[in-house]
């Protein structure tokens, strides 16, 4: 679930920070930039682990700040495919359910990956599991209940070409990390139409003059469509986990009674017996 990733970045140290210890200044700058941010194709940064190397500081004309290249390691959250995690069901819709891990909320389970026999109830606004092999027993995906799910995929939003070009270089990876530094993705903007010949422009003006204005209460679809075209498109989440709950033991915890033979706190004699048996 958690791993280490080694990255390289350039830390800008302002003249007002020159009086502090260099390592302290670098640690403070990295701790402000990375934690609680998604590193593309790596995962969610939880904390700065350590600084492994500090390069020489550079000065550039017209800028009094020091520019120092550093290598460091981050604690990254990125669950493995097939891993079973605990979470809380926070919402349902016709497409599936959304789960929160407490520190990460972009966990989605599509309807096709719920328990076999699950269906969307328009009346209840919930998913309902008709348990196979029972006398029409139904279990509801009630929100705010703890559950277990299986990780099927971890997806990242693709950065734009401009954002990818601004990303600083990476050092060697640690563990299973696949690193890239986080950069903001610009919102796409609609392109302008090309120029028209003068005759075409006059014909368009005449057609517009011949079109009656919309009456009060009319939709004015052309104007609405133009307004919608100018609105920025919603971006997908920077990191998203796709899960499943289509196996035994997965789903709401209240559905599965605890094993009576399982003892979470065995007695010391039982531990000794297990060690001798092994």
What are the boundaries of each domain within the chain? 2-79, 84-155+240-255
Distance of CA 31 to the CA centre of its chain: 20
Residue 229: φ, ψ to 5°: -65, -25
Q: Is 94 exposed, middle or buried (0-12, 13-18, 19+ CB in 10 A)?
A: exposed
Residue 70 and residue 24: Cα distance in Å, rounded? 13
CATH: 3.40.50.880, 3.30.1490.120, 3.40.50.300, 3.40.720.10. Which one for 2-79? Answer: 3.30.1490.120
Low-confidence ranges of the chain (pLDDT < 70): 160-233, 259-278
Return d(Cα 271, Cα 276) in angstroms, integer: 9
What confidence score (pLDDT) does residue 100 get? Answer: 97
Cα 199 to chain centroid distance, Å, stands at 51
Alpha carbon 174 to its chain centroid, in Å, reads 21
134-154 pLDDT, tens digit per residue, is: 888 999 999 999 999 999 999
Q: Give the pLDDT of residue 260.
A: 66
Q: Which CATH superfamily is domain 84-155+240-255 in?
A: Nucleic acid-binding proteins (2.40.50.140)
Tokens of 190: 């609609």
Residue-level pLDDT at 87: 97
Instruction: Look up residue 271 and give its DSSP letter.
Output: H
Residue 32 tokens read as 């402000």
Model-level pTM greater than 0.85? no
């Amino acid at each position: 679930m958690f791993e280490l990733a080694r990255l390289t970045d350039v830390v800008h140290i302002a003249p007002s920070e020159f009086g502090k210890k260099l390592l302290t200044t670098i640690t403070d700058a990295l701790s402000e930039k990375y934690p609680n941010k998604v590193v593309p194709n790596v995962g969610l940064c939880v904390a700065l682990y350590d600084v492994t190397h500090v390069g020489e500081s550079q000065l550039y004309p017209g800028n009094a700040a020091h520019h120092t290249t550093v290598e460091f390691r981050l604690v990254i959250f990125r669950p493995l495919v097939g891993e079973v995690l605990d979470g809380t069901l926070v919402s349902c819709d016709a497409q599936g359910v959304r789960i929160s891990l407490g520190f990460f909320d972009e966990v989605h389970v599509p309807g096709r990956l719920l328990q076999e026999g699950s269906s969307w109830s328009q009346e209840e606004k919930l998913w309902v599991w008709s348990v196979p092999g029972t006398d029409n027993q139904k279990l509801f995906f009630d929100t705010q209940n703890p559950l277990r799910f299986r990780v099927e995929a971890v997806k990242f939003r693709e950065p734009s070409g401009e954002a990818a070009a601004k990303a600083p270089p990476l050092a060697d990876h640690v563990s299973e990390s696949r690193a890239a530094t986080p950069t903001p993705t610009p919102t796409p903007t609609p392109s302008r139409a090309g120029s028209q010949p003068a005759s075409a422009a006059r014909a368009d003006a005449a057609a517009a003059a011949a079109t009656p204005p919309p009456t009060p209460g009319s939709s004015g679809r052309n104007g609405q469509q133009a307004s919608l075209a100018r609105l920025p498109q919603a971006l997908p989440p920077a990191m998203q986990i796709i899960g499943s709950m289509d196996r035994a033991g997965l789903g709401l915890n209240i559905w599965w009674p605890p094993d009576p033979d399982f003892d979470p706190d065995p007695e010391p004699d039982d531990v000794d017996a297990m060690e001798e048996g092994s």
